[in-house]
Structure formats: structure tokens, C-alpha cells
Structure 1
């Protein structure tokens, strides 16, 4: 920095003081500036580039734009940011050698904060740690600073994004394939990046040789929510062995007249030609009204021929719907022209006359949405505020959104996870911590912080007053819930009820502060089953603790009334009381009485011994049509006002009843090694003890898996010891040495959870060293959880109290519903209807992904309801 004097004075060495300011510019105190400006008013401060005195600063080479410090400048108006420093940061110097761009396996959290839903679209943006790639918000919550303080990671890349204007209700492009068009981030956003040190509070030169590769790597890396660059995806069709190895029968020319209708009925469309024998049969009845009697499938079952082509879908270019009934999948036939020519059909002369399976699926997907308009065609009123925040669809994630909205409307989940005045857990990786992510979602949904109109969306002339929310993207929670799960880890549509059960399991197994407890407990209750022998009339009562019930919905089609139009798929409405009556009705089961030996059977009936605070009811509306399970839309009438469940409470064992004798518990069979696998392993030179250990560790399946295990455990100290299992079960149980508290504590000190430690010790027969190796080789395994084990210090002889309450009156009211529209629970679309207070008035709110609106007609709720959430009132 050069300090130019406006008049010659030597009493004050401004050059030396400038060096001091250069070293301390980021903590400049008002008194420093005041001293220069007021003690020496005749001096002014100007910055010049390329000076021998300015080695610590980079300045704008345009002199006219450089700041002047004059007597009119005050400490409150001048900030260090008015200088563009690249002063050497000691933190950068100390960790520069360790900084590396993200590797392909690294998750880069550059879209939103890992501890809240503040994102790069907010004014302050998100700070991405240059060392571990954690994303922390840089706004008022400043989780980036919290991350720095906890883990001493001072260097970050700040990312801010500005959305380009989007006009709603533009006509969508015509879709001709099941694909999502590629759209890059640059098409939608303007992005600004800055590298800074949070410790020094200064910006760094992101173009420097040290930082440029890191910045470039972060911006190009796979984000957490998408493990690949933004790109189009399309349903990939392949061939199969049944097509590649297909043997066609003797060739012949099929006359055009024989291709006009099904060989077994009079249908003239949806016709499938067997490529193996030339039979023509109609297909299955398709979504969208395409008729079919499944004669092509029946032919495949009878003849064993697997490959067929849909006649109306053939094009001169060689594309067509080809289906393999043996794989039960749509396929591609690379030699379709040759295979059709075998039956005298010239590919070049074919014209496509019917919609393909993909086109019908796309068309149906567009219909699988819930009405967002009133009966007179106006859009439903958007809702905003606390508890009225939508969730973005991450691609077939509406099943997750519907369940999360219903759960976080219950007091149990609200009180457990919405803790604005409580510190978040201190964890190295917040994105991988279930507690952190559930609290993040609770804050996002319930605080109201993110429930506001999307200001970047311009309304169209057709709906000028409507502007919905941006919605929150629960990508981290979805990944965490699905981690290690065969189905929930995919991007496919899933059963929302199965997800609810999975979430309950994860939450129950997680750790809870003693003053908060398990939020799934208010969902638990005890169901009591009563068996009575038809011969001797003796009874047996058994109980089972659970957190939901299934009810089968009676299926009865609406009668056709002459002169009135009745839909073919219209079903009679049923009441919830009918469903519960069926659920608790007596039925006869064929069992031999252990007391009198009668083979007449038993009557069986299930009633509630206790009822929960929150009752979850899954309504099953399934039927098998053309050998395919299909979900039906049967309206279930549920009272809007509170109703009683007292009639479904069990009265328990009566004084006049005589109980059946208890049946002896069957002991689990002892582990017996697969003799064939043992012989194979012994033939390879392994001792018998080693063989048995290997087979036990690999599930007693086959010699190959056991051999792989042996090669990895040749150095185990007990490899040649006889296999000794605790308890009588074949798997060894979790008692004895494997449950040694000292060993569990040792593993806990290494950072492993109690369930993980128990699982590792069980798998290694209590050997701590081998348990550590097992844990490192099974990082995805969450361990074993003994839900029924007594708590520490509890008396094992004391019976566990029943969950729920048997108090009467047992009055309940419908609080929320997860609804589904579609022919299968693994397809279609899910939404949630939740009872809310809006402007002090009770109303039903519809949560349709990111859109939250005041629900209009409740008929859709009744017709498409899949999971009911009732609360005790």
C-alpha cells in the first residue's frame, strides 16, 4: 500500500502504519481509522496496483474506482470488503496441501444446508466446506460457522444462485417417450461463487492455483441429491434370452384376414402375435379403457411360448411393443423384421395404428393427479404459514411426502423433533444422522420459515392470482431412510404404508433423549386374540403389540340402473364401521385342540385390549383381475365428527371361561452344517471346524460363500476351535459373551452404536478384535435391536406394561389421510389431506408435493384414501 502525502510532513510514518493496517485489515477498529482520518486530516489514502508496498493486497487497476479515505469517511461507512484483498491466509497455507477436489464417491452438499433447508437460492447462499464438502447455511442461522467451530474447517466456497424468471402454465411439450428432458442448471439459474476463510473473515482468490481445482471440482461434482450430472433418464428396454434363443415353428404366411381379430374372441384391437407359433390373441385390459381378455397370456401359459408383438404398434422403422411373458417385461427384438417375415409379414408395409405401452403409460401418468381446481374450474386457494409447507417431488417420491406430512402433523412427532430452542446434535456428518435430518424436516415443515409464495414464478394470464411455494427437497432424509434397503434406496415408486412401517422401525431403534422419548410409542396398542375350541369350549387369549391395523374393504360393484350412466369400475361406498366390524368378526380356523383333541377347529376373534393416542388404519382395496393384483377405488365413508371405538375393546378372560393348557415352546433346532458343502470344503483341505465356522457365518448356504469367508479369516485365533453357539438357536443368539457390557462399551468408545456393537459381537462370538474388523467391513449394517429386551435396571420378572390405554370412552377423530390414485400402490400418485386450523377455522388442507391448498371436494379423500391417521380426542 502506498500512502501519498498531500503535503510534506515527517512527524507521522504512514507507511509503517499502513503495514500494520494491512496485517490487521480484517479486524479494523473504528479507533484505528479515526486516528488516521482525524489526527492527520491532511492525509488521504489511495490504493495503487503493482506497488512494491502492496504485496499483501490486490487492487482494482482502474484508479478511478479505487476508494479514498478522507476526513468525510467514517468507521461505520468503511468496511474491509471495500478492498479486494488476497492477503495470505494462514489457514489456507496450513491446509493447502491436504485440500483435494471431491472424488466420485464423495457427496457434495452444495444445494442446501445439511442442518436446515436454507439453500443456495437464499440471499446469503450456502458455504461448502473445502475439506469435507459439508454444506452450511451462511444466513442468520449460520450453520457454516457452527461447522467451523466444531471441526476447525475454516475454508468454504460460498454458492449463491438466482433463479431466472419462469412463466407458469406454458403449454407442455408433447411427450413421445417415457423420459424427462434434460435441463441444465445454467438454463434455470445464475450462480455466483466466492471462496472465503470463516476464521479470518476474508475472501480468497478462487482463481489461484491452490483453490481453482477445488472450486471447479465442487461445482462439477455430483450433488448429494443426484449422484450424476443433470441428464435425461429414459426407461431402458433390453432383449432377453427368450428372444435371443427363440425357436420359431415351421414358417407360413398368415393371411391378412386372420390378423383382424383375436383367435379366441372378437376383439379387433390390442392384438398380440406370438412370434413362436403365429397365434393371435388379445392382450390384457389396459389402463385408459383399452379392452382385452388376456387370451395372448392364456396362450403363453398353455403353450410355453413367451414372446409376442403388438400388431398395431409396428412401424416401418422396426420399432414395436414386444413383450416376454416369461420375464413379464417389455423387451426389444433386434431381429423383429426377420421374425415377422417368418410369418409372411413385411415390416416395410406396416403402419402404427395404436398407442404403444409407453405412450399409454405416459398418458395415464398425466391423469394420475388430484384435482387442484374447484367445481367451477377455479384453482384451489394456496395456503401458507406454519405447518403448511410443501415437499418437492424428487422423482417418484410422493409416497414419502404424503407420509411425512401426516406424521409431522401428530403431536408425538411435532414435540419430539421440532425443537427450535434446542441445539442440534454434534455429529461429523449431519446428512447421515437420522436425528439431525428428522429435526431438519420438522423445522422445515412446522416453522413456517419456508412456507411463502415463490416470488420467482410469474403467474400466467389464465391464473394471475395463483403462486405456489417452491417446496422443500427432502433428499437427505430420503437417502438416509433408504440406505441399505432394497426398495427404498431406489427411485421407483413405493408403497407408502410399507414406508411408514420402515420409518417407525428406524425411529424406534434410534436413540432418544430421556426427556423426549420415542415418538412412535403413542401409535402403539395391544391387540388381543381369543381362540375357543368348538369341541370343549375352552379358550386361549394371546396379545400382540402393534402400531397399525389392516382393514379389508368390501368390494361390491354399483348396480347398473337402466337409463342412468354407471361407470364400469364404480363400486358401492362402504362405511368405516363395516370395515371394523369385519376386522373384529369371528372366523373359524382348522386346528386340533391341545386339550380335547377335537379336530372341529376353533373360533378366532381379534379385539383391542388397549387403544393408542394415534391410530393408523391401512385400507386394503385390492382385487385380482386377469391374474394381476389391482388397487380399486372404493369410497369409504368416515365420520368427520368424533366417534367411539368402545365396542371394539376386549373384555378379557371371563370368570365363566376355562383356559386351554399352554403349549410347550418349541426349541429352535441346533445348527447343523450343510453336509454337502462341508464335504466340498474338506476336499479342498479345510478342517471340519473351519468348515462349520465358515458355513455358520455365511448362512449355511453353499461352499463358495464359505470359502470366500475362510480366505478372509485365516488368521482368526479361534479358526480351528469347535463352533460353540450360545443358546439353542442355530444363529447363536445375542446373549453370553456377545452381550458383554464391557465389550459393548469398548466398541462404543470407538464410535459404534450399541446395536452395531451387539451385532458385531454376536457375529464374531464375542471377540472384540474380530468385531472391530466386522464393523469396518459392514459399514451399512445398523446392528441388532432387542425391542423386547428389558431396560437397564429393570426387573426381568416384572411384566411389561401394555402399550396404549383401555380407558373409555375411546373417542377418535380423523386427522389426516394419505391418498393414492392409480391401479397399483407401486405406481400412480400419492397426496396427503390434513385437518388444519386456517384463520381460526377448521379446514382440510391438500398437500400435493410442493403445492399446499385448501381442499375442495372431499369425495376424492373418500375414494382414494389409503392410510388413515386418527387421533384420540
Structure 2
């Protein structure tokens, strides 16, 4: 028996008949992948090594985890697993005389699914060759595959099952659906109305709202309506779906995707993307000639929606030749299909030294103490991502042509440019109804979700998210008695309103709006966009101005009264994150984006917003709780004032009426926006649309409270209500006490808290039990025990070092790009593309990152 040293390049062959004997001691550890097993054969659990990498990828035959050559020994030492399947893709020079011009040939293509073909190679000269071997540790015995006659049957079956297993990320890959599209059952018999409708080649908009993106043409009656959340991840207001429910017309094609080769077609009846073999005929009925149509990036034709195209061009710095950047800190991230929000946020996060030290600086310790399945460990995946972005290992400049030619004569060693964060996204979004989807998301919401996970997974003595934490002092004043109350809460983002009334170019805006309406009426190209120019000082002023407190209960008057609230910084964070509140709702509750330009400063001083506390001459509101009205209803069901205007706003968005009533009730009449978030979190539950049943005093709702995650111990408050109160900056125990004292009425609980700002000294054992059981759900904004919140206070002077910009009309669609200032110059991170920025559009950003200037 001979051995081949894997890392020494040996290629010796074992004697026939010895393989079975060699594998006998390891047979109990070799498993056949079953349904539900995740097989990681395209990516290392600790790095971004793959079968394309120089050392290939090792897949454990017991756990099915993949490891690069640098990390395989760690897994062997930790688990004792000895048998691995080594996967390697080679790029070799074609044999002279081989046919040229075709795509690179893949030998043994079934061995590697979801591996992308490098676009850097000349397919006329090079081809792929995939190789698989069994490797036995610790002596690195190699057994080449296939070797069916000599291997035990179990080993052969296990290897075949592993090689043919589907990617664990298949559900995240939108492109995977393309192979599975089936012809619609309605395509052959589709009835088209002779209503004279003709669709113009451009200038489309939804016939029920003003949206100009994600538009769908109904192939029965020619209606042009906006979509909701279809397979391409775009967003809309769901008018296309509403039209189907009203008419039953089943097929729609997405405008902007029509080419001579086909189009994106969706079947409302079959609830999936489909093929329409007769699409050319169906489009011709409405005057559309497929041969004349061309698809463009983002589904927009060149002459479509010039204002939006302009925004895309400005933010992405299109039309300017940008110099690519390579090396440590200049690594791009692949867009997995509407994952640009994640890419932009993570690039900004790992530009911060505290996060670099916490994860990349502690990488050896994090990896060594990772659980047996490191793909399901937050700190491991954060360290992996941080190292991938900062090491420079996956951001290398292209080799010079003569060097490439010299290397290619032997074997091509691929350059890794950019990383694909599939494993990171799969873990960080697990269990979240939105981030686990392929739909576009709000970068601000993802930032807070990430901070939540950082808080819940400590990585060392200091939490890196502390650099964002700050205390907000809220001063509430009774307008009648003039008495005040001061409270504090923790926050991570400064949200600045857009002061539209302060626009400095109002005359230009009025003139543009008139021209735009005239152009739409005459079906002419739209005029060049004029954006509202808003002074940053006006936004800062709007942030500091008092706001009205609805339904304010004055403890001085023992009655409801008018109240106003002002917010100030009780502490200034090390890093100040500023969100421009560009996304809002119109009068018809249709989400829209304020397309504005704000002169964001490079240097920011907010020292004048420092909180001052109770001032001489001010009198505090008495510490008196509002009265609790206990209903007298023997049946256990009583009426409650529900904000019907919020209910109707939600119902007009297409949600079931009873679900809207439940959402408004369980969020304490805090408004349609909060209720909308409740709906999104609970819309998949079986009792989502069932009638609202309100419990009597001392009882728990059978459906509603269960839907909120309530714990059935001593009538504990619903966990989601607790989370809502914690998100406002109050301690968890205080939130639970308030809800218990007010029969789980969120609105009254908040009033109770304002009249009881200090939690009780004594601890309720049941609260401690519940807190331990629900620790995973504890909100990041909760203060940490008697020591108070963790803050890094200092001067309120800052310098801009990064910003995230959004293109599109809604957070549910569009694209995100990140700009960061590194080594004295601005750099644009546009997914995989990392370049030196020439014209950073600082006035069009959505989220800004400032670093404190040392005093």
C-alpha cells in the first residue's frame, strides 16, 4: 500500500483491493446526505475558499461542512473526523486543434453545482476540468474518484449523494428559478379583449398610482399596474394583484423585460413565474413588437423615466471612468439578488476600527472556539466576512498580459476578486420574514437588525456596537399646567426629517411640476428633473423643534391634555449615524421617496443639542399613574376604541380588514406605520385574518396574544408588546411591569411608564424566569441592569467618513451603493465594483456615518 501526500503533490496509486481495507476503520463516521442535510461543497465555513481556490475545498463526509486547506486541520482536531471529499476545479489549456469560440467545456459537470465560470478566461484557449478525491487524515491518504469497483458500496453512495446534492442556498438564488419555469396552463387559451388598448414603447405608469417602476401589463385587457413582491424582488403597491382578484385575468408581463428572446411573465392563478409560448402574439394584440424591444438594466428603457435614470447615474458615478481599487479594505461583495442593502451596510461596518478589532483581530480565538457547526455561529460568520473584506486575499489586481501568458502554459491560478456572502446572509437573516427573502430591504432596518445580533452575541469584554449607542433626553411638557417630565432612552441612529418647506429653489420646483404634468398629458418625454435643495441646517432645526404628543395624559391635571415633546442628546456617540427620513407615505398611504438634495457637511457640530436636564424654575409633573378602567363584561369580550382611520389605511393597501383591526389593536393605536410592521411580521400565521377577540381583564387572548409570542405563565405580557416598549429605550422589567399593571394595554402601559420612570427595586421571580427564557428576543435598546446603558460620551463634533445612497422610488425596490473615505480619498463600493470615487454624491445620501473628532 502506498500513500500520496496531499500537500506534497504526490500522485501515487494504491494497490487494488486495499481501498476497502483502508476505509474499514472509518466506515461508522461516513454518512449519506439525507433530505434536509445542508451540504457545503462550494464554500469554506471559515473563509471564502472554494473548489476554484488553489487548495480546493474539503467536505467532511460526516458533517458535510466545507473547509479550505488553511482550516481543515482545525476541524480534524476538533471533531476527530478523518474522511473528506476534496473538490478542485482546474483551468487548463485546450489541446491544440480543439474547437474554439464555444464556452469553456466542463468535464464532470455534475460534480460541482452553482460554480460560476470565470469571465477572465479566453474560452477559445482554456477549459475546465473538475476533480474529486477522498482524503483520509491525519496522513493525507488520497483516493481518486470515481473508483466504484474498489470502494465499499456505502462510500460510493455517500460520495455520489454528496456530489449531486443541491446548494443549501438554492432558495436564495433568484437565477435558479429560470431553469424551473413551466409553460402556463392559461397561455394557449388566453382570452384577450378587443378594447382598442395600445401600449406605448415608454412612459408607462401605474393606472392607479404614480409608480413608474415594477409595472406589469395584464395580457387580457392591457391594464398597466404596479406589482407587489414578485419573484424578481421588486416592490410596489399590489395593484396588479388587486386587478386579478377583481377580474380573474391571470397573466401579466413585466414591462421593461420584453426582448426578442422573451419576457418575464407571472401567473396570478398559478402563483409563480411562468413561460408564455405565445408571448409574441399576446403582446402584438396591444401593439407591442417584440423584435423592436430591448431590455435595459433595472428594467428601464433608455428613454424611460429620465429623472430616475439620472439618479442612478449620479449615485453610481456613471459616465466617468473610475479607477478600480484592489488590496486590503477594497474587496467587493457579490449581489445575491437584491442584497445590495446588506453589502452597503457591511462595507461601512467593517470600515470602523472597533468592529475590525472585535472580529478580525480576534479571528483565531473566534475560530478555535467556534461551535461544531460554524455556519450557524454569528461571531464566526462576522469574523469570516471581516477577514474576507479586509485581508486583500480576495481583491487582487489582474496580472499583466505577459505574466498571464506564462502562467497559462501550465495552469491558470484564478484571481479572487470579491466575495459572495451567501453563508453570511443565510445565517443573519434566518427567521426574519423580510431579510430571509430575495426582496429589496431598507438599509436602515438591516443596520438595526445587525446591531441587535451584535448585542446578543458578545465577542469580548467590549461590545463593538457601543460606538453607536447614545442617550436621548426627552422633555415632555403639559401645555396647560406648564409642568415637565424628563426621561432618557437609548438610541443608535439620529433620524433627521426632511424640511421640504425650507427648499431654496421653490420657483424651479413649481415650474418643473407644471412641465412634468404637461409632458405626461401629451405623452412627451419628461423634462429634466429638478430636485428640491434643502439646507442641512433646516433639517437639523426640524429635529430639535417640539412635537405634539397625541393623547397626552397629564398627571398634574389628572386628565388628558395637550403636550409637547423635545429631544436632546444626553450623550454623544463615538460614531454618529444620521438617517435622512426620505421615505414617507402620501395621503393615500402609498409609500414614496422624497427625491431631494441636502448639503450634508463634511464637519458637523451638534454640541448645541446637548441635553441640560431640569432647569431652574421648571416644575416636574407629579408621579401619579393614570387611572385604570377595568371593564365589566361577564362574557370576557369588551369593546375598545380602535383607530379606524389606521385600520382603513391598512385595508386600502390590500390587507384583510380583520387583520388590520388586530394590527392596530396589538400595537396600541400607535399609528398605521407601526401596525404595518406588525402585519408584515404575522401575515404568514394561520389565524392572521380571523376576527379580533379581545380578552377580559385577567385573561389572555386565545389567538392574538399567541400570535404575539405570549408566554402562558401567570398571564405574562406578550413578548412583542414588551419588545415595542423596549425599542423606545425603556428597561425590560419596567416594560413588563407596565403591561401587567395595565392589562397588556400598550397605550396605557406607556402612560404608566411616564408616571413611573424608576423601576421597582424588588425583582419578580416570574419576570426573571421569563427574561431568561426570552433572552434571545430581548431588544437591543434595553438598558443593561443597574449599571445603566453602555455609552461612550464625548464632544459633539464629527467628521463624515461614509454614506449609503439609495436609488429608486421605494425601500422595497431600487439599489444601494456605499461611499467610504479611505486613505485620504473617497471610494465607491457598488457590490463587486470597488473604485476610486471622482464625484461622491454626498447630497443624495440616505444614511451618513460620522466619526467623533477628538478634542
TM-score with structure 2 setting the length = 0.63
* Aligned position for 1:582: 542
* Aligned position for 1:154: 82
Aligned 1:437-586 pairs, distance under 5 A: 437-454=381-398, 470-514=417-461, 517-555=462-500, 556=503, 559-560=507-508, 567=527, 569-586=529-546
- Residue 620 (structure 1) shift: 1.9
Matched, 1:202 2:124: no
Aligned 1:659-698 pairs, distance under 5 A: 659-664=620-625
- Residue 428 (structure 1) shift: 0.6
Gaps of 5+ in 1: 1-21, 29-77, 174-181, 287-293, 338-344, 461-466, 677-695, 710-722, 736-760, 772-780
Q: Secondary structure at 2:850's aligned position in 1?
A: strand
| Counterparts in 2 of 1:577 and 1:458: CA distance versus 1, 3 Å | farther
Give the counterpart of 1:867 among 834, 847, 850. Answer: 847
Residues 126 and 137, structure 1, Cα contact 8 Å, conserved in 2? yes
* Aligned position for 2:108: none
- Residue 116 (structure 1) shift: 1.7
2: CA distance between counterparts of 1:421 and 1:311?
A: 49
2: CA distance between counterparts of 1:457 and 1:486?
A: 48
- Residue 589 (structure 1) shift: 3.5
Report which stretch shifted further, 542-551 or 621-630: 621-630
1: CA distance between counterparts of 2:314 and 2:416?
A: 18
Matched, 1:113 2:61: no
Q: Secondary structure at 1:352's aligned position in 2?
A: coil
Q: Secondary structure at 1:635's aligned position in 2?
A: strand
Q: Secondary structure at 1:832's aligned position in 2?
A: strand
Residues 390 and 469, structure 1, Cα contact 8 Å, conserved in 2? no
Report which stretch shifted further, 218-227 or 825-834: 218-227
- Residue 588 (structure 1) shift: 3.3
Q: Deviations over 1:25-57 (max 9, x none)?
A: 6799xxxxxxxxxxxxxxxxxxxxxxxxxxxxx
Q: Secondary structure at 2:300's aligned position in 1?
A: helix
Residues 540 and 659, structure 1, Cα contact 8 Å, conserved in 2? yes
- Residue 508 (structure 1) shift: 0.6
Gaps of 5+ in 2: 95-100, 104-111, 119-127, 229-235, 303-308, 405-413, 517-525, 638-697, 723-731, 734-764
- Residue 388 (structure 1) shift: 1.3
2: CA distance between counterparts of 1:333 and 1:492?
A: 22
Matched, 1:400 2:327: no
2: CA distance between counterparts of 1:355 and 1:782?
A: 59
1: CA distance between counterparts of 2:81 and 2:395?
A: 32
- Residue 569 (structure 1) shift: 3.9
Q: Secondary structure at 1:502's aligned position in 2?
A: helix
Q: Deviations over 1:526-568 (max 9, x none)?
A: 1111112222211111111111122222335763498999956
Aligned 1:786-797 pairs, distance under 5 A: none
| Counterparts in 2 of 1:782 and 1:594: CA distance versus 1, 3 Å | closer
- Residue 650 (structure 1) shift: 1.4
Residues 586 and 603, structure 1, Cα contact 8 Å, conserved in 2? yes
1: CA distance between counterparts of 2:317 and 2:837?
A: 9
Give the counterpart of 2:35 among 97, 104, 110. Answer: 104
Q: Deviations over 1:658-680 (max 9, x none)?
A: 0111242788999x99979xxxx
* Aligned position for 2:788: 800
Residues 806 and 816, structure 2, Cα contact 8 Å, conserved in 1? yes
Matched, 1:700 2:702: yes
- Residue 585 (structure 1) shift: 0.9
- Residue 436 (structure 1) shift: 0.7
* Aligned position for 2:834: 852
* Aligned position for 1:628: 590
- Residue 413 (structure 1) shift: 0.9
| Counterparts in 2 of 1:624 and 1:161: CA distance versus 1, 3 Å | same
* Aligned position for 2:695: none
Give the counterpart of 1:658 among 599, 611, 619. Answer: 619
| Counterparts in 2 of 1:871 and 1:119: CA distance versus 1, 3 Å | same
- Residue 487 (structure 1) shift: 1.2
Q: Secondary structure at 1:212's aligned position in 2?
A: helix
Q: Secondary structure at 1:385's aligned position in 2?
A: coil
Residues 553 and 619, structure 1, Cα contact 8 Å, conserved in 2? yes
Residues 308 and 322, structure 1, Cα contact 8 Å, conserved in 2? no
1: CA distance between counterparts of 2:265 and 2:88?
A: 48
Residues 483 and 619, structure 2, Cα contact 8 Å, conserved in 1? yes
| Counterparts in 2 of 1:93 and 1:399: CA distance versus 1, 3 Å | same
2: CA distance between counterparts of 1:144 and 1:361?
A: 41
- Residue 103 (structure 1) shift: 2.1
Give the counterpart of 1:190 among 125, 129, 133. Answer: 129
1: CA distance between counterparts of 2:827 and 2:806?
A: 16
* Aligned position for 1:143: 71
* Aligned position for 2:806: 820
2: CA distance between counterparts of 1:857 and 1:322?
A: 39
Q: Secondary structure at 1:520's aligned position in 2?
A: helix
- Residue 406 (structure 1) shift: 0.4
Q: Deviations over 1:275-314 (max 9, x none)?
A: 99x9x9886899xxxxxxx9x989x99x97686999999x
- Residue 513 (structure 1) shift: 2.7
Q: Secondary structure at 2:170's aligned position in 1?
A: coil
| Counterparts in 2 of 1:657 and 1:472: CA distance versus 1, 3 Å | same
2: CA distance between counterparts of 1:285 and 1:89?
A: 59
| Counterparts in 2 of 1:487 and 1:673: CA distance versus 1, 3 Å | farther
Matched, 1:422 2:364: yes
Residues 454 and 469, structure 1, Cα contact 8 Å, conserved in 2? no
Residues 183 and 274, structure 2, Cα contact 8 Å, conserved in 1? yes
Q: How many residues align?
A: 661
TM-score with structure 1 setting the length = 0.62
Residues 315 and 817, structure 2, Cα contact 8 Å, conserved in 1? no
- Residue 439 (structure 1) shift: 0.7
Matched, 1:785 2:778: yes
Which has the larger Rg?
1
Residues 165 and 457, structure 1, Cα contact 8 Å, conserved in 2? no
Matched, 1:219 2:205: no
* Aligned position for 2:604: 643
CA RMSD of aligned residues (A): 6.0
Residues 283 and 289, structure 2, Cα contact 8 Å, conserved in 1? no
2: CA distance between counterparts of 1:603 and 1:359?
A: 52
1: CA distance between counterparts of 2:166 and 2:253?
A: 43
2: CA distance between counterparts of 1:627 and 1:654?
A: 41
- Residue 219 (structure 1) shift: 2.0
Residues 333 and 421, structure 2, Cα contact 8 Å, conserved in 1? yes
Residues 811 and 872, structure 1, Cα contact 8 Å, conserved in 2? yes
- Residue 144 (structure 1) shift: 0.7
Q: Deviations over 1:485-527 (max 9, x none)?
A: 111112222221111111111111113333xx21111111011
Q: Secondary structure at 2:835's aligned position in 1?
A: strand
2: CA distance between counterparts of 1:702 and 1:786?
A: 21
Q: Secondary structure at 1:147's aligned position in 2?
A: helix
Matched, 1:608 2:556: no
- Residue 93 (structure 1) shift: 1.0
Q: Secondary structure at 1:484's aligned position in 2?
A: coil
Residues 592 and 600, structure 1, Cα contact 8 Å, conserved in 2? yes
* Aligned position for 2:729: none
2: CA distance between counterparts of 1:831 and 1:825?
A: 13
